[in-house]
Structure 1
């Protein structure tokens, strides 16, 4: 018996755009697993070393691989390795090369680029609200540079839900 690979989606974008909340809601709606941003469990500040980013990248990759084995046709990821690379560039001004290698280990069926048109909410780790437009542009450019297909997600929370679930439903039907 062959096990079908689940559809992998990535909720993608800068801090404070609703990725985690949406990931949890989608996982419940589709009765599947979601992969949280593991960095939240590994760090207490943004004062990180290259080794910290490598540890985060490896843990995120392992978390996605583990979720694939548990998924019900769909895996919802709260982030990806491109995000880890971008934050390494922002905070360290360098990207440990192993992160690019780890990025190649997971292929997403769709990235959803969440727009910054929602209120920014500070917390202990979110500290880049003043650079939101610049960082959003970096996230978008990273997808374009890699030639990755993505869906732009903007508007009210209800509009965002409709955009994302419509595309996920389409992807699930395609993979039947």
Structure 2
């Protein structure tokens, strides 16, 4: 099974793309469980531990339901980054679980699309800084990635599908 992680700061279209990719590949996607667990960004170390465990459980539960491709709307590297940005110490379980994650491909979604507020998103004024942090985290953790840019959501989706199809073709060879 091909594991695809959609990655990047808030409001770059990860969730919408995850849904569309799951429909395209007739599979499932793993949502960002933090959205169901929190009501604000005023979180504690214990909150980040709870998010890490719940996200890992959601990933494990989705694997047997997937059809060739499993799409992840986030990863725990993202959770670590947000803990850092909000000045919250990482709980050990977060770092342990993040170190165990393995994906076949990361797609880093650029911030060159409109920012949309939704109640939890509050860092629109720091988009360029956050994007740089996300990209640097991939580099620091030696995770190869494909940068997805462009203001057209349809073009972004087509680009990701092109790359996933290429990976699926390689997998068959």
Query: Per the shorter chain, which TM-score range?
Result: over 0.9
SS at 1:104 equivalent: helix
Alignment of 1:141-152 (within 5 A): 141-152=136-147
For the aligned residue pairs, the C-alpha RMSD in angstroms reads 0.9
For 2:82 and 2:99, the matched residues in 1 are separated by 18
Q: Is the 8 A contact 1:49 1:92 kept in 2?
A: no
For 2:130 and 2:90, the matched residues in 1 are separated by 16
Cα-to-partner distance string for 1:106-129 (whole Å, 9 max, x where unaligned): 200001000000000011100000
Moved over 3 A (4+): none
Q: Is the 8 A contact 1:26 1:76 kept in 2?
A: yes
In the alignment, structure 1 residue 170 sits paired with structure 2 residue 166: yes
Q: Is the 8 A contact 1:50 1:92 kept in 2?
A: no
Q: How many residues align?
A: 171
In the alignment, structure 1 residue 21 sits paired with structure 2 residue 16: yes
In the alignment, structure 1 residue 160 sits paired with structure 2 residue 156: yes
Cα-to-partner distance string for 1:135-170 (whole Å, 9 max, x where unaligned): 110000000011111000011112211210011101
Aligned to 2:132: 137
SS at 2:139 equivalent: helix
TM-score by length of 1: 0.94
TM-score by length of 2: 0.96
Structure 1: runs of 5 or more not aligned: 1-5
For 1:165 and 1:97, the matched residues in 2 are separated by 35
Q: CA deviation at 1:93?
A: 4.2
In the alignment, structure 1 residue 70 sits paired with structure 2 residue 70: no
Structure 2: runs of 5 or more not aligned: none
Q: CA deviation at 1:94?
A: 2.4
